A and B are shown apart, each in its own frame.
Chain A
């Protein structure tokens, strides 16, 4: 039987960052996926090499609107790694607090989108509603809801006022309560289980082969978490559990993210407690970065963000390499999409959290007889959920 081809992208509701997937299908089944990137190459590495270390922090903050802590944090880790620069204890807690708040809002955002893709719009609205207080917490701490401008080589630029600790604790309590409600509702929903369990499986060996990171790898049983493997900032001072599951399907990826929200809340509470009772400097003045090489990384919500800098003793890098987690997670589609129905392709592609937007667009296809028809993956996915719901 001839294989048909379904193009997804380069500008598609599924993909906020423009990427282009070609699903090769045999009847209703996906048999292969081709991936193409490079539709919005912005030259960040090249631009960074013309900026000072402090200027580059603002640049890398804008690589991703969701991970606007992870990139600057990995970058300052890389610069600090050149000279093994120590940072003050208080700064370590502030960095960890901001990083974990980012994880909470990113996972809630993903949860909402995943719900939307499979026809659970209530889940989408709940998750995004409960994400809003996290953004307000950012505003309380840094003055900005996004792009916090808080990281610096040697520490942080803004402190957490002890007077703000109590209201921040209250918001965290509320988020925990609401996330608990979502988790219970999701756990008890038979339709959700039939829709996500056993779908888009990425085996442990495949995750290792593709060098996958973050929840994508952890849901397949791979123990990889930069916060545990190379604990920087306050990660060796706080208690938390690395969430790892074994099945590698979309359900497990959801479970990993949901449970990580609770772990992040736990970490945030510990940081806030320390910040409320301790004092001290938030930055060590760095006078010079010597010639050398440094590697910095941080466990972003989507997985390890990697930055490499090479320095020549001036105030800017001569080489700056950036690798975001989606760069290694997206190629796993070649393994996880094979053999699944087209209706499951959307949620499988979504499960690695490769950044989405809410714009909706349908595809126009032409068959052998030049008859055109439209195919909307989102609609297909939601129809499948509806069918399961009616049959239960």
Chain B
């Protein structure tokens, strides 16, 4: 028995559209609420961050975090959509979940997302790349990457 209904009632005003499946809860969250949602999942419910998935969609650039509630085998997945594809920007959850540091750095390089408040916003995969990497790897755009090479 998972705690999804309890979570929904407690975070009702912080989350948007919900997709429910057995042991899976995918839901939208606004950028200004993501830290609070992450804190609730990680610290209050004792969830563990498995990883996060970033993707370009029609709605915008999307980041989907995957929090695992190990004691019930359930997943809670907050989804943040950044509509401005030319400057995708959102709050980092690394200050709450240390385990998010690497995956957020990877998403910066892959899709050019800026994570505000990330403690180490330098490139993870291309820090020593022989060529200067200016644009994201998986997003056909002119978004300029932040990092050691590009200031």
Residues of chain A whose beta carbon lies under 8 Å from any beta carbon of chain B: 10, 20, 36-39, 41, 46, 81, 84, 208-213, 223-224, 229-231, 293, 295, 297, 304, 306, 308, 310, 319, 321, 323, 327-328, 331
Chain B interface bracket (under 10, 10 to 19, 20 to 34, 35 or more): 35 or more
Q: B127, A306: Cβ atoms under 8 Å? A: no
Q: A209-B99, A327-B102 are in contact. Are A308 and B127 (CB under 8 A)?
A: no
Complex CA distance for A211 and B125, rounded to whole angstroms: 20
Question: Which of B49, B55, B97, B125 touches A41 (beta carbons < 8 Å)?
Answer: B125
Contact with A along B82-105 (1 / 0, CB 8 A): 000000000000000111011100
Complex CA distance for A328 and B106, rounded to whole angstroms: 13
Q: B124, A38: Cβ atoms under 8 Å? A: yes
B141 surroundings in chain A (CB, below 8 A)? none
Q: A36, B66: Cβ atoms under 8 Å? A: no
B77 surroundings in chain A (CB, below 8 A)? 295
Q: A306-B50, A323-B51 are in contact. Are A46 and B138 (CB under 8 A)?
A: yes
Nearest residue (CB) in B for A82 is B21
Complex CA distance for A308 and B66, rounded to whole angstroms: 9
Q: A37, B125: Cβ atoms under 8 Å? A: yes
Closest Cβ of chain A: how far from B134's Cβ, in Å?
16
Complex CA distance for A304 and B99, rounded to whole angstroms: 14
Nearest residue (CB) in B for A212 is B99
List 10 additional contacts besides A10-B128, A297-B50, A331-B99; criterion CB under 8 Å.
A38-B123, A39-B128, A210-B99, A211-B97, A306-B66, A310-B55, A319-B53, A327-B103, A331-B98, A331-B102
In the complex, B48 has a CB within 8 A of chain A: yes
B21 surroundings in chain A (CB, below 8 A)? 81, 84
What are 29 A-B contacts defined by CB distance under 8 Å? A36-B127, A36-B128, A38-B123, A38-B124, A38-B127, A41-B125, A209-B98, A209-B99, A211-B48, A211-B50, A211-B97, A224-B48, A224-B70, A229-B72, A230-B23, A230-B73, A293-B24, A293-B26, A295-B77, A297-B68, A304-B50, A308-B51, A308-B64, A323-B51, A323-B103, A327-B51, A328-B102, A331-B99, A331-B101
In the complex, B149 has a CB within 8 A of chain A: no
B55 surroundings in chain A (CB, below 8 A)? 310, 319
A209 surroundings in chain B (CB, below 8 A)? 98-99
In the complex, B71 has a CB within 8 A of chain A: yes
Residues of chain B whose beta carbon lies under 8 Å from any beta carbon of chain A: 19, 21-24, 26, 48-51, 53, 55, 64, 66, 68, 70-73, 75, 77, 97-99, 101-103, 123-129, 138
Nearest residue (CB) in B for A84 is B22
B72 surroundings in chain A (CB, below 8 A)? 229
B127 surroundings in chain A (CB, below 8 A)? 36, 38
Complex CA distance for A211 and B42, rounded to whole angstroms: 10
A46 surroundings in chain B (CB, below 8 A)? 138
Complex CA distance for A213 and B48, rounded to whole angstroms: 10
Complex CA distance for A328 and B49, rounded to whole angstroms: 10
Q: B124, A37: Cβ atoms under 8 Å? A: yes
Nearest residue (CB) in A for B98 is A209
Closest Cβ of chain B: how far from A291's Cβ, in Å?
12
Q: A295, B66: Cβ atoms under 8 Å? A: yes
Closest Cβ of chain B: how far from A275's Cβ, in Å?
26
Closest Cβ of chain B: how far from A146's Cβ, in Å?
26
Question: Which of A20, A293, A306 touches B128 (beta carbons < 8 Å)?
Answer: A20
